[in-house]
């Protein structure tokens, strides 16, 4: 039995859950271990050209993750979804309802974290891409998940995956930072609108987590800062009171908590999960 038995039989959709070592994979495994029926979604296409490793979940990866969750006793389905496309996001919500009979939890995890450039060098189309996936995609997830939850009439949980960049600015990451700050405002407005219907909306704000994409970020910023990888990571650990970067499992634990009855009176929050690095 999981830590939160009340979650058994609930149905969750997690976007951006087709990447190995990603937050989506970790949250899917944790919720499935709690007895949640999980729909994994990702863009489900090839990685494309000039993308860092693990930037986009592929169909093959997503199916492998699903198979492993099933082998561990979980109930899981997969659905290809580009969060920039309203019809695809709406279809993902309706798929969960049709396949598992309900939609109780929606996790907006899909995001772009690899377009990191100085403002004066960043092309407008790259800015639009980051804001599109990270903020528009979250808006669409909230919109279409809430439509189904309102129709069901028994509340629900919407969880957005923000960042330390939801609270603080970072050089060479203006688009990412703007999108994650915007996510917090969107979370607060959605919580006000949906709270009377029993739907909570919260954002989890991790500090750096060395996912597959996070490893690319480490290498990128080690080069940008001129510190080298070892010094860059040493400096990162030194500014975190608990002495280490975040782990995928840290975020998965926070997600499970916010889905549970223990968090039934929490909404509109931007919850830091940062080892004490971010505290406002």
Give me the helices (H) in 72-209, please. Answer: 86-100, 124-131, 137-152, 174-194
The answer to the question of residue 127 being in a domain is yes
Which residue, 213, 204, 195, 184, is CA-closest to 146?
195
Taking the model in full, what pTM does it have? 0.92
The answer to the question of residue 210 being in a domain is yes
Tens place of pLDDT for every residue, the chain, 280 residues? 689 999 999 999 999 999 888 999 999 999 999 999 999 999 975 544 455 555 667 889 999 999 999 999 999 999 999 999 999 999 999 999 999 999 999 999 999 988 999 999 999 999 999 999 999 999 999 999 999 999 999 999 999 999 999 999 999 999 999 999 999 999 999 999 999 999 999 999 999 886 556 565 656 567 666 777 777 678 778 889 999 989 999 999 999 999 999 999 999 999 999 999 898 8
The answer to the question of residue 280 being in a domain is no
Q: How many domains does the chain have?
A: 1
Which residue, 55, 181, 51, 158, is CA-closest to 107?
158
The catalytic site residues sit at 176, 180
The answer to the question of residue 279 being in a domain is no
The answer to the question of residue 42 being in a domain is yes
The answer to the question of residue 277 being in a domain is no
Within 10 A of 183 (CB to CB), how many other CB atoms are there? Answer: 27
Structure tokens given for 116: 């990191």
Show Cβ contacts of residue 248 under 8 Å, excluding neighbours closer than 6 positions.
21, 22, 23, 25, 26, 209, 211
The answer to the question of residue 276 being in a domain is no
The answer to the question of residue 275 being in a domain is no
Which CATH number belongs to the domain containing residue 18 in this structure? 3.40.50.720
Look up the domain containing 123 and give its range: 5-270
């Amino acid at each position: 039995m999981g830590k939160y038995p009340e979650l058994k039989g609930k149905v969750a959709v997690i976007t951006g859950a087709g990447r190995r070592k990603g937050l989506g994979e970790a949250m899917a495994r944790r919720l499935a271990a709690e007895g949640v029926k999980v729909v994994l979604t990702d863009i489900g296409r090839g990685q494309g050209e000039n993308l860092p490793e693990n930037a986009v979940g592929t169909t093959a990866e997503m199916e492998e993750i699903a198979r492993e969750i099933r082998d561990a006793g979980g109930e899981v389905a997969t659905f290809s979804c580009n969060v920039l496309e309203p019809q695809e996001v709406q279809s993902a919500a309706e798929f969960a309802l049709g396949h598992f009979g309900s939609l109780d939890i929606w996790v907006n995890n899909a995001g772009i974290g690899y377009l990191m450039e100085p403002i004066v060098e960043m092309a407008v189309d790259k800015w639009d891409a980051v804001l599109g996936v990270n903020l528009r995609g979250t808006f669409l997830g909230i919109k279409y998940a809430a439509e189904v939850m309102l129709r069901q009439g028994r509340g629900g949980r919407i969880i957005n995956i923000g960042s330390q960049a939801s609270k603080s600015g970072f050089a060479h990451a203006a688009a990412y930072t703007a999108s994650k700050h915007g996510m917090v405002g969107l979370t607060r407005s959605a919580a006000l609108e949906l709270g009377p219907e029993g739907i909570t909306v919260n954002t989890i704000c991790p500090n750096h987590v060395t996912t597959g994409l996070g490893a690319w970020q480490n290498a990128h910023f080690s080069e940008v800062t001129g510190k080298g990888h070892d010094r860059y990571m040493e400096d990162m650990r030194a500014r975190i009171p608990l002495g280490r970067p975040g782990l995928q499992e840290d975020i998965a634990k926070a997600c499970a908590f916010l889905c549970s009855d223990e968090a039934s009176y929490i909404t509109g929050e931007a919850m830091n999960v940062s080892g004490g690095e971010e505290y406002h």
